[in-house]
Homo-oligomer: A and B are copies of this chain.
């Protein structure tokens, strides 16, 4: 999966330069953390990991960097309803599982990625989008589909 930071850094370097931004150490640290995990970390969680790489980094900069990365289209920002934003690196399009949605456990906040059945889902959504755009004169830019429920472990734990 993960093939070390070099390749990533070169890639990111280019993206940053291209936008006139600098790929600084605090920014690299955020990208490294995100690239090494498949979890959906909060800013605070990212900050804690970042400090292991670059102890000087501040929380503000982590927030600023995440905002920048989202704006650059490198990172997705999600709201899973637990009061804090969560972030996920957008991996290469070639990557299977690239495009996915989420199952969110309302008990333990676990998040499960899934990419099955997405094709039909997207198909219907884009059809719906088209019809709605038309009928309500509304230009749809993005959609959110999320399933909330109980994961296996929590179900076991909760059924007495």
Q: Tell me the A residues contacting B by CB distance below 8 Å.
A: 79, 81, 103, 105-106, 112, 114, 116-117, 120-121, 124, 127-129, 131-133, 135-152, 155
Contact = CB atoms under 8 A, between A and B. Distances in A.
Contacts of A144: 144-146, 148
A148 B152 CA distance: 32
Contacts of A112: 136, 138
How many copies, total? 2
A117 B141 contact: no
A136 B103 contact: yes
A149 to B, nearest CB: 4
B149 A131 contact: no
9 closest residue pairs by CB, A with B: A137-B152, A140-B149, A141-B149, A144-B146, A139-B150, A117-B128, A140-B147, A139-B149, A143-B147
